[in-house]
């Protein structure tokens, strides 16, 4: 196993109306190969800001971030983003297959691009919707289109910002299971932001608790729960309930 991302003493602040607004403070994190990292924290604690630093979209004010041992100065190759707001992330005038092609169409031949799109839609089980428009799909299907768009780039890391937060409980559960399957099938590492403690444990190999602002990682849990995960059985395991209680307390700032 080797480190993909290394973050050392990362700090981030913005200047708003001439005043400093500290957003992240002393973040240390290593993202290894083929693992799911979930970062859980309350609204406004700095989760999106941290993910944007990993994606090369925010430059840290302090500290160092490396991707495969190279300093990150722009969006790194091999890293794909999935945003929370799928309805604003898909282009309504493009069909599903054309939305999925967005990140690759400039770099690949038409034939290679079509093959990649087909493969990505197959991975998220949307092969039958290639010619539909996003607005003809349910919310869960639209989010799968966004995931397919990210997968079409064959990323080694997927950065996901509360991707299932707007979905109903049943759709959310089935997409969580799809994500675990996709990790196994693609071997991608995933950094997954959520404010849902159970989701963080269910998906995560590692869970970090972020408290802020300014956001600090105050606790870290290696989730040793058996695979395959099961929506009923896993969530009833005593170890799952113990993690849930620990993380709940950690978020409230209690040990």
Contacts with ligand ATP, residue ranges (CB under 6 A): 14, 16, 21, 23, 41, 43-49, 195, 213
Q: Tell me which residues in 35-54 interact with Mg ion (CB under 5 A).
A: 47-48
Whole-number Å distance between alpha carbons of 51 and 7: 12
Answer yes or no whether residue 142 interacts with Mg ion by CB under 5 A: no
Count the neighbouring beta carbons within 10 Å of the beta carbon of residue 254.
8
Residue 252 C-beta: closest distance to ligand ATP, Å: 16
Torsion of CA 30, 31, 34, 37, to 10 degrees: 110
- Could you tell which of Mg ion, ligand ATP, none binds residue 31, using a CB distance below 5 to 8 A set by kind? none
What is the Rg, in whole angstroms, of the alpha carbon atoms belonging to the chain? 18
- Could you tell which of ligand ATP, Mg ion, none binds residue 21, using a CB distance below 5 to 8 A set by kind? ligand ATP
Residue 48 C-beta: closest distance to Mg ion, Å: 3
Closest alpha carbon to 45 in 193, 228, 191 = 193
178 contacts: CB under 8 Å, gap ≥ 6? 124, 125, 144
Residue 89 C-beta: closest distance to Mg ion, Å: 14
Answer yes or no whether residue 58 interacts with Mg ion by CB under 5 A: no
Whole-number Å distance between alpha carbons of 140 and 16: 36
Nearer to ligand ATP, 23 or 159 (CB): 23
Residue 49 C-beta: closest distance to ligand ATP, Å: 3
């Amino acid at each position: 196993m080797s480190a993909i991302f290394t973050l050392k003493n990362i700090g981030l602040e913005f200047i708003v109306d001439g005043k400093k607004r500290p957003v992240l403070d002393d973040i240390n994190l290593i993202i290894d190969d083929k693992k799911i990292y979930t970062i859980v924290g309350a609204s406004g604690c700095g989760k999106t800001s941290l993910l944007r630093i990993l994606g090369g979209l925010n430059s840290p004010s302090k500290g160092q971030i490396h991707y495969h041992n190279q300093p990150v100065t722009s969006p790194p190759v091999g890293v794909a983003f999935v945003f929370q707001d799928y309805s604003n992330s898909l282009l309504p005038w493009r069909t599903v297959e054309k939305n999925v092609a967005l990140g690759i169409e400039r770099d690949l031949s038409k034939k290679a691009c079509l093959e990649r799109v087909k493969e990505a839609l197959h991975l998220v089980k949307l092969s039958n919707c290639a010619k539909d428009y996003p607005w003809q799909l349910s919310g869960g299907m639209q989010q799968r289109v966004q995931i397919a768009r990210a997968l079409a780039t064959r990323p080694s890391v997927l950065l996901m910002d509360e991707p299932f937060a707007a979905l109903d409980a049943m759709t959310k559960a089935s997409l969580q299971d799809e994500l675990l399957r996709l990790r196994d099938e693609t071997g991608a590492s995933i950094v997954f932001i959520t404010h849902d403690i159970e989701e963080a444990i269910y998906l995560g190999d590692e869970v970090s608790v972020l408290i802020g602002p300014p956001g600090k990682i105050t606790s870290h849990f290696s989730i040793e729960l058996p695979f395959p995960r099961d929506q009923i059985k896993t969530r009833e395991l005593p170890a799952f309930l113990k993690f849930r209680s620990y993380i709940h307390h950690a978020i409230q700032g209690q040990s």
